[in-house]
Structure 1
Amino acid sequence: MKRIGFYSQYLATLATISLAWGTSSVADETNPITTTDYFQGQQSIEIHVPQPEPRTSWTCATLIEPAITSIMGSYQANWGILVEKLEEGTTLYSHNADKFFIPASNIKLFTTAAALQKLNPQSKIQSKSLQDWIKVTNVRSNNYYADTLLSHIGGAAAAKSALAQMGVNPNSFRQADGSGLSRRNVATPRSLIMTLRAMYYTPDKDVFYSSLPIAGISGTLKNRMKGTPAQGKVYAKTGTLRGVRALSGYMNHPDFGKVVFSILVNNPQVSGYSLVHAIDRIVLQLSITQPCE
């Protein structure tokens, strides 16, 4: 099989990336009070791609595995990835899906999902509605809001119980805080997929879904994947600690419908910039993949 047309041209252009560093070298998610994206101000990643050719030249689904393997490179053991069709549950790609990783701020997905199961979105916390707290927690990755939310609903045990009632395997993650700052948090890609899937079918789906950053548009994804096929189609939660990067959420795919994905990588031997670049390349690879005839 040949990788032709837009796909080959697209991969070539991924090598052209502009990066301007600000004063901080670590994501804001390592600061318990910080509320903004770690690509704030002068920090940004721009991935330029050409205008797409007709969809007949896009990547066939059978090329997903070798393409992602190539992106992961020689550190494949440090990656955990699971990609599924939301409605059918069909697996599009899986790699270390049941291995534990430090999820960084992806732990906020557990926190906010559990809060929505235990409380009404309009219930008040310090004069603001839970809905507002959920949005600030996820879109801005506010660690103070996340830890306060977890405490408000009764702590990690209460959160695990609420998620278990939704069908999330309680043995697939361990939660030490609400924000993801603790390195004692661990989760499998499958645990995040189960949470995302379960939340999509709850009465408060819209509150949860709309709280996620949008690629190239809002929150901690505002400066990522701009001008690519993924812009405006990926709603996902970022995660950042030293040696840790994560991205889990939903993708509106033109052929596969709603796709749910989780990408976790723990690798202190590679720069955070390189890990973010690799994650975005994987997401973009998925966005240009179509079924094989």
Structure 2
Amino acid sequence: MRQKRLASLASLTVLMVAAIAPMGNLRAETFAEASETETSIAQSVAVGICPNQLQQAIDGVIRNPTFSGAKWGIHVETLNEGRVLYTHGTNQYLIPASNIKILTTAAALQLYDPLSPIRSSNLESWVRTILQRSNNDYADALLRGIGGTQAVRSALGRLGVSSDYRQADGSGLSRNNLVTPSALVDILKAIVQRGHGKEVFYASLPVAGRSGTLAGRFQSTPAQGIVHAKTGTLNGVRALSGYLEHPEYGVLVFSILVNQPGQSGQRLLNAIDNIVVRMASMNSVSCSRPF
């Protein structure tokens, strides 16, 4: 237990009791995320590529004429060394959809102990529900309970995270939310390197092909079981940000955001999944110099 909490557990509990909707009362966005499970790469295995070929491989996906009107923001780097493997539009403000839940939950874990009581449950359980199931009602209630967007900014600022985001709600349903891929990667790195509740945060993320909103994605691909990430879904918006436990190159931290109004959501989803599979397919056998 931390010696000092930044707000009383009692006040958090009271706010949550007033704010929370019944368990299971998910809004349409949650179901949309969970239902998008079919991808064009579901049964494919990408050919191995060298890390220094990743730039070309990802460019080949996002420069497809299908996405000529899309705004892409992508950043990939190694967790320990901070070596950038790919970057495109990384400082561009984009609508993140449910990736805003990363901010909400990461901030809450800095302000409260994971065992802090909330109704008949605790913060750890809420974080797991918000990230695994993308429960919007819980996320919005949690944001109100911890003190709103200013509390998030203060908590993340103490982690050394930049202010490259504009948060309008806790869930990501608002299109007034804006964030850069670099800010999401900074948050993801900070929470596991020096943040409170890092074990809870990491364990609560969906796992590719196995759990939560990623249960039906990446099956029978090199990414299955090694990607822990938060999904994001709105009309014309898809997002995926998190970690890839690469067996050869260590943990990669990534954020992929795409905004393209009018585009098929499934096409955007397939493109993101293809990018992640290419990341997972890197190996030294494919090149003489890995980096």
The amino acid of 2:52's aligned partner reads T
Paired residue for 1:187? Answer: 179
> Could you list the per-position Cα deviations for residues 92-143 of structure 1 after superposition, in whole angstroms to 9, with x for gaps in the alignment?
1000000000000000000000000001100011221000000000000000
The amino acid of 1:240's aligned partner reads T
Paired residue for 1:122? Answer: 115
TM-score, normalising length: structure 1 = 0.83
Paired residue for 1:63? Answer: 53
Q: How does 1:275-286 map to 2 (within 5 A)?
A: 275-286=268-279
Greater relative CO, 1 or 2 (CA 8 Å, sep 6+):
2
Q: Which one of 182, 197, 214 corresponds to residue 207 of structure 2? A: 214
Q: Tell me, yes or no, if structure 1 residue 47 matches structure 2 residue 42.
A: yes
Q: Tell me, yes or no, if structure 1 residue 224 matches structure 2 residue 240.
A: no
Paired residue for 1:11? Answer: none
Q: Tell me, yes or no, if structure 1 residue 264 matches structure 2 residue 247.
A: no
Cα displacement (A) at 1:32 = 3.4
Q: Secondary structure at the match of 2:225?
A: coil
TM-score, normalising length: structure 2 = 0.84
CA distance in 1, matches of 2:137, 2:279: 33
CA distance in 1, matches of 2:28, 2:150: 24
The amino acid of 2:210's aligned partner reads I
Distance 1:106 1:156, change over 3 A: same
Paired residue for 1:7? Answer: none
Q: Which one of 136, 144, 163 corresponds to residue 156 of structure 2? A: 163
CA contact (8 A) 1:37 1:140 kept: no
CA distance in 1, matches of 2:30, 2:145: 19
Q: Secondary structure at the match of 1:82?
A: strand
Paired residue for 2:23? Answer: none
CA distance in 2, matches of 1:94, 1:255: 21
C-alpha root-mean-square deviation of aligned residues, in Å?
Answer: 1.8
Paired residue for 2:169? Answer: 177
Paired residue for 1:18? Answer: none
Paired residue for 1:113? Answer: 106
CA contact (8 A) 2:100 2:172 kept: yes
CA distance in 1, matches of 2:123, 2:94: 29
Paired residue for 2:86? Answer: 93
**Aligned-pair identity (%):** 48
The amino acid of 2:38's aligned partner reads S
CA contact (8 A) 2:185 2:255 kept: yes
CA distance in 1, matches of 2:34, 2:100: 20
CA distance in 1, matches of 2:87, 2:61: 14
Paired residue for 2:239? Answer: 246
Cα displacement (A) at 1:264 = 0.2
Q: Tell me, yes or no, if structure 1 residue 32 matches structure 2 residue 32.
A: no
Q: Which one of 185, 189, 205 corresponds to residue 197 of structure 1? A: 189
Distance 1:243 1:35, change over 3 A: closer
CA distance in 2, matches of 1:38, 1:249: 16
Q: Secondary structure at the match of 2:251?
A: strand
Q: Give the number of equivalent residue pairs.
A: 256
The amino acid of 2:214's aligned partner reads L
Q: How does 1:13-32 map to 2 (within 5 A)?
A: 32=27
Q: Secondary structure at the match of 2:90?
A: coil
